[in-house]
Structure 1
Amino acid sequence: MSSNWGNSFQISLFGESHGAGVGVVIDGMPAGLKLDFEMLEAFMKRRAPGRDKTSTPRKESDRPELLSGILNGVTTGAPLTAFIRNSDTHSGDYAELSSLARPGHADYTGFLRYGGFNDVRGGGHFSARLTAPLVFAGGIAKQLLAAYGIFVGAHIARAAGIDDERFDDVKLDTQTLLSAGARDFPVLDEQAGGRMREAIEAARLAQDSVGGIIECGIIGVPAGIGSPIFDGIENRIASILFGIPAVKGIEFGAGFAAADLRGSENNDPFVMDGGTVRTQTNRHGGILGGISSGMPILFRAVFKPTPSISRTQSTVDFQKNVPAELSIKGRHDPCVVVRAVPVVEAAAAVAITDILKSEGRIPAVLDGAQAPHRA
């Protein structure tokens, strides 16, 4: 399985949803970063299940066990390994799925790819449970980036057809960027968040689910970072984001809306701002030719509705090659978008860290034990 990502800051995910646990090995972690474990734990709790009715009732602490790469709270430069134990597995919920294809899942395609040896319990290695170690890696990356004045934040831009406010793409400040992540329900407009909650609950009671959109911003990235053609910032971010289960689309800046604009409307005029080159608008999302312009980097990721729903659905038994019906048992999020906000932040942080380290902007050994900045 292709579970490795990155060049100079490489992550390798391992484990299954209902196995002993899941984890990550981070290779290329600079030595000398003093970690804030309280901050890391708070970040991981944002993704952890069982917090309210908008998420699965599965109870997991998501507390990482650090196996290597840390000494006295400071990174050593050796591969950093974290293991997150699974403690609330109900494998019996998946006993009948060895040959029934759950609509919207990788049961059938996984069976074909791995000859029937893949673990189907909770989705196995295809499960969103693997985003827990990704969030760990992203939490480490966020602390490393903060030491260089770079911050990553996200919010639910849309859920169940209800819109939140959008980030100011020109004057996005750190407080606004991180504000949604400090709330139990990660939105900018809490009234809109309340309406989202009601719509998600209505879908849950109807034995259904809803999808949505997450908007992510990155500020503090110096101009001139990235590469053209196949290794641009968009390429790197998109590559890791599509590793998040349920992501079905990504747009940067104006995104698909640019298709309806003229060049005179879509272009961002350049201006001087206190001796710094900036743009009046930011429809380019902070990236031109795959390279950072110095403006806030902004993108949005589309998440499909949770495919695991308890309504009866038509399917097939792909070993007997006969039609079948299926009502999915188990514990599932009626809307994955809520817990996916820190996952998107984590993926973006890992991508930016890999780019900066590959270009020599982050050394192998930091200049003294650096503690992450608190915004």
Structure 2
Amino acid sequence: MSGNTFGSIFRLTTFGESHGPGLGGVVDGCPAGIPLDESMLQLELDKRKPGQGGLASTARKEADKVEILSGVFEGKTTGTSIGFTIPNTNQRSHDYSTIKDVFRPGHADYSFTAKYGFRDYRGGGRSSGRETVSRVAGGAIAQELLRSEGIAIYAYTVELGGIPVNAYDFEGAQDRPYFSPDPDIVDVWNDRVKDVKSQGDTLGGVVEVRATSVPAGLGEPVFDKLDARLAYALMSVGAVKGVEIGSGMNASCSLGSLNNDPIGPDGFLSNNAGGILGGISSGQDIVARAFIKPIPSISQEQSTVTTDGIATSLSIGGRHDIAAIPRINPVLKAMMAMTIADMLLLDRRLGVRD
């Protein structure tokens, strides 16, 4: 299987399955001298681990305890490959025995089998959402690199189950349920989650990811545009079905006079471009939104077929989230962090900045 490495200079290669012994990864290209230890990775992993999503979260409990194997000495990166592992400790593979010969609607079962002629039915194998634990660990390393440059990344939920927020306190969101930037919407979302859960159904939503203090000049003008790389990074997360940069789709029904960002002596007066012009960062906050589909594992009966093509119906049991939000938020944060870290190091390699 190919496609297990992300990035060109700052590179993350991941391995592992949802119901195997564990998951892990190797980060190459991280400069030497960046402060790093396991607690820094654990801080981000704890935001993603099962059981942290409030009413929307799965009952599966994993410690997601990370161990750094290489590339760090006396609390700093050495410039060599940073290897890490995260063991699985709470798998219940027998939950999947009843569906091993059935294609689950909304999952990758059918397409995975079409490609490889074989699949790991225990939670989806490499197509499982648990694969993202390695991304979060790699992204935590990227965030420490960016922190040394004064760059910060935030991910917060702006819509859940069709209910949008009315406030945007993205810094305060990091300490609220669902990573909500609006303190008054949490109870409303809780009620929505409880209602949908009682129906045996699931929810989607929208997560906004923001990078602050990004210098102007990151990105390339043609195929390696910063927004193109960022869209690719966010779309590589399994539950993401769409990405917007800045004003996004609203730009298509706007006017040039309204969508352009005027410039004054002290800088830009608005940020409809999402901090990227011509594929290159403008020095403003970089803002992207990821549109998240509902979790496909539902307890309602659905029509499907067996691996032999025989019509049947399926109700999925086991332990599953009601929404990928909020556990997907640190994953998207990690993907933005690795994208910006990669583009920053690319500029340095090209001698654009020191």
TM-score, normalised with respect to structure 1:
0.90
What letter is aligned with 2:78?
Answer: T
Considering only aligned residues, what root-mean-square deviation do their CA atoms show, in Å?
A: 1.7
Percent of residue pairs identical: 41
> Residues of 2 paired with 1:361 and 1:353: CA distance?
12
Higher relative contact order (CA 8 A, sep 6+): 1
Deviation of 1:42 after TM superposition, in Å, equals 2.1
Q: Does 1:53 align with 2:30?
A: no
The alpha-carbon deviation at position 179 of structure 1 amounts to: 2.2
- In structure 2, the residue matched to 1:171 is none
Q: Which residue of 74, 77, 90 maps to 2:76?
A: 74
For 1:1-375, list aligned pairs within 5 A: 1=1, 2-35=3-36, 37-51=38-52, 52-116=54-118, 118-165=119-166, 167=168, 176-273=169-266, 278-319=267-308, 321-360=309-348
Q: Quick check: 2:155–2:332 contact (8 Å CA) kept in 1? A: yes
The range that moved more, 186-195 or 205-214, is 186-195
Change (3 A) 1:182 1:337: same
Give the AA of the match of 1:339: R
Shift of 1:158: 0.1
What is the deviation of 1:211?
0.2
Q: Is the 8 A contact 2:32 2:77 kept in 1?
A: yes
Q: Aligned to 1:83, what secondary structure does the other structure show? A: strand
Shift of 1:187: 0.7
Find the counterpart in structure 2 of residue 173 from structure 1. Answer: none
Paired residue total? 350
CA distance in 2, matches of 1:81, 1:266: 44
1: CA distance between counterparts of 2:21 and 2:39? 25
Distance 1:144 1:297, change over 3 A: same
Q: CA deviation at 1:73?
A: 1.8
**Structure 1 portions without partners, runs of 5+:** 168-175, 368-375
CA shift at 1:198, angstroms? 1.5
Quote the offset at 1:10 in angstroms: 0.5
Q: Secondary structure at the match of 1:298?
A: strand
The alpha-carbon deviation at position 185 of structure 1 amounts to: 3.0
SS state at 1:256 partner = helix
Moved beyond 6 Å, runs of 4+: none
1: CA distance, partners of 2:74 / 2:213: 29
The answer to whether the Cα contact below 8 Å between 1:152 and 1:177 also exists between their aligned partners in 2 is no
How many Å separate the matches in 2 of 1:152 and 1:110? 33
Q: Structure 2 vs 1, CA of residues 42 and 268 (structure 1 numbering), >3 Å: closer, same or farther?
A: same
CA offset at residue 4 of structure 1?
0.8
Q: Which moved more, 1:158-167 or 1:98-107?
A: 158-167
Residues 102-144 of structure 1 show CA distances to partners (whole Å, capped at 9, x for unaligned) of: 010000111111111x212111000110111111111111111
Q: Secondary structure at the match of 1:359?
A: helix
SS of the counterpart of 2:55? coil
Gaps of 5+ in 2: none
CA contact (8 A) 1:315 1:324 kept: yes
What CA deviation, in whole Å up to 9, does each residue of 1:331-375 have, x standing for no partner? 110011211111111110000000101111799xxx9xxxxxxxx
Q: Note if contact 1:356-1:362 (Cα within 8 Å) is conserved in structure 2.
A: no
CA contact (8 A) 1:164 1:193 kept: no
1:49-96 per-position Cα deviation (integer Å, ceiling 9, x unaligned): 013331111000111111111122211111111111001111111113
Does the 8 Å CA contact 1:220/1:294 hold for their aligned counterparts?
Answer: yes
Cα drift, residue 230 of structure 1: 1.1
Q: Partners in 2 of 1:53 and 1:262 — Cα distance?
A: 41
Indicate if the aligned counterparts of 2:170 and 2:181 stay in contact, CA closer than 8 A: no
Q: Is the 8 A contact 1:226 1:233 kept in 2?
A: yes
TM-score by length of 2: 0.95
